[in-house]
Amino acid sequence: MKKIGNQTFQIKDDVFVRDTFTIAGKKEGEGPIGNCFDIIVDDDLWGEDSWEKCELKFQKEAAKSLMQKNNLMEKDIDLLIAGDLLNQITSSSFAARDLQLPYIGVYGACSTMALSMGLGALMIDGGFASNVICVTSSHFCSAERQYRLPLEMGGQRHMSAQWTVTGSSAVWLSNGGFGPKIKNVTFGKITDLGVKDANNMGAAMAPAAYDSLSQHIADTKIKYDLIVTGDLGTVGKSIVNKMFNEENNSIEDIYDDCGTIIFDLEKQDVHAGGSGCGCSATVFGGFLYKKLLNKEINKLLFTSTGALHSPTATLQGESIPGIAHCVGIEM
């Protein structure tokens, strides 16, 4: 059996994270890990006439550049697994249209990077694919227009709100070669404690992060060098720490969050930190992957978190369900 414990799948054959390619926006490039990104664009349109077209360009160029960097042809890639935040995952579907690769579109909100990598690892371990590209994206302006208020309205952002990362990262998974290996995948359960505030996604996602992390740790018994959640920001990160501390099982010494890594919270006006599909994607592809390659860390628990937020449902009084998926990676 490849399933261990209650929710975790053990990857028994080799699944290497062969390479990544990361594109980030100007604000992200000015942050503390800006030197880790492959491309930093100068503006939020990147030559396009809408933010949505810019976002799909981010995703398409990340995947194309990853393939070109590694001399990969279309025939070499068995599957493209991609997702984003926009309705009908249009950024991913339009990028896949141009890339002409066999395509599975997934939606996990901001958990999409770990979800894509987890599914890709299972496909390779099961013998159904040899090479898989996983890619996600988000864009501050397109996300604000869809989920909150159009920027033209000049709405004031709450202090608990996070800044959606403008960026995309493509990850190449393969059954051969060299690189860190995906060893375990835990797909999370929907966790909903009734948070209804669309300006406080960290609080909505934190219980799901705690649930998935706790389950993964219980299932695998692995001692990780670093545990990183997707984009809880300062609010959600503090809640996760509090929940673990209340169980007398603190992870604070080895725990961080992509939403607090990507921006300088003191110098950049992002309030509670970063968020969006592109947050955990760019932090993993640009920053954490290099730490693994350089053996600064050997065992990473990468956990993307998502708020499955529908503006329509929220206006009807519904809460915001959370989800988190864990990918255990070892160098």
Indicate the SS3 state at residue 319.
coil
CA-CA distance, 110 to 95, in Å (whole number)? 18
Task: Read off the pLDDT of residues 257-271 as tens digits, 9 standing for 90 and up.
Answer: 999 999 998 899 887
How would you write 173-221 as a 3-class SS string? Answer: EECCCCCCEEEEEECCCCECCCCCCCCCHHHHHHHHHHHHHHHHHHHHC
Residue 293 has pLDDT above 90, yes or no: yes
- Note the pLDDT of residue 115: 98
- Note the pLDDT of residue 153: 62
CA-CA distance, 58 to 114, in Å (whole number)? 19
Q: Which residue has the higher pLDDT, 155 or 136?
A: 136
- Note the pLDDT of residue 272: 80
**73: exposed, middle or buried (Cβ count in 10 Å: 0-12, 13-18, 19+):** exposed
Q: How many CB atoms lie within 10 A of CB 312?
A: 7
CA-CA distance, 214 to 223, in Å (whole number)? 13
Q: Which fold has domain 13-174?
A: Peroxisomal Thiolase; Chain A, domain 1 (3.40.47)
CA-CA distance, 181 to 179, in Å (whole number)? 6
In the chain, the percentage of residues whose pLDDT exceeds 70 is 96
Residues in the chain: 331
Name the residue among 206, 182, 173, 218 with its Cα closest to residue 302.
182
CA-CA distance, 118 to 223, in Å (whole number)? 20
Task: Read off the pLDDT of residues 146-185 as tens digits, 9 standing for 90 and up.
Answer: 777 666 666 666 666 777 899 999 999 999 999 999 999 9
- Note the pLDDT of residue 163: 73
**22 bridge partner residues:** 169
Residue 118 has pLDDT above 90, yes or no: yes
- Note the pLDDT of residue 271: 76
Q: 13-174 with 181-330: one CATH topology? A: yes
CA-CA distance, 328 to 138, in Å (whole number)? 24
- Of 58-62, 253-257, 307-311, 319-323, the poorest mean pLDDT is in 307-311
- Note the pLDDT of residue 233: 93
Contact 65, 119 (CB under 8 A): no
- Of 203-207, 278-282, 312-316, 317-321, the poorest mean pLDDT is in 312-316
- Of 52-61, 126-135, 142-151, 189-198, the poorest mean pLDDT is in 142-151
- Note the pLDDT of residue 161: 74
* Domain ranges across the chain: 13-174, 181-330
Q: Which residue has the higher pLDDT, 110 or 162?
A: 110
- Note the pLDDT of residue 150: 67
Q: Which residue has the tokens 């449902």?
A: 313
- Note the pLDDT of residue 112: 97
Residue 307 token pair: 């708020």
CA-CA distance, 80 to 173, in Å (whole number)? 10
Q: Which fold has domain 181-330?
A: Peroxisomal Thiolase; Chain A, domain 1 (3.40.47)
- Note the pLDDT of residue 156: 65
Cα 197 to Cα 192, 193, 271: the distances in Å are 13, 12, 16
**240 bridge partner residues:** none
Contact 262, 92 (CB under 8 A): no
In the chain, DSSP finds a helix count (H) and a strand count (E) of 11, 15
Helix, strand, coil percentages, rounded to 5, for the chain: 40, 25, 35
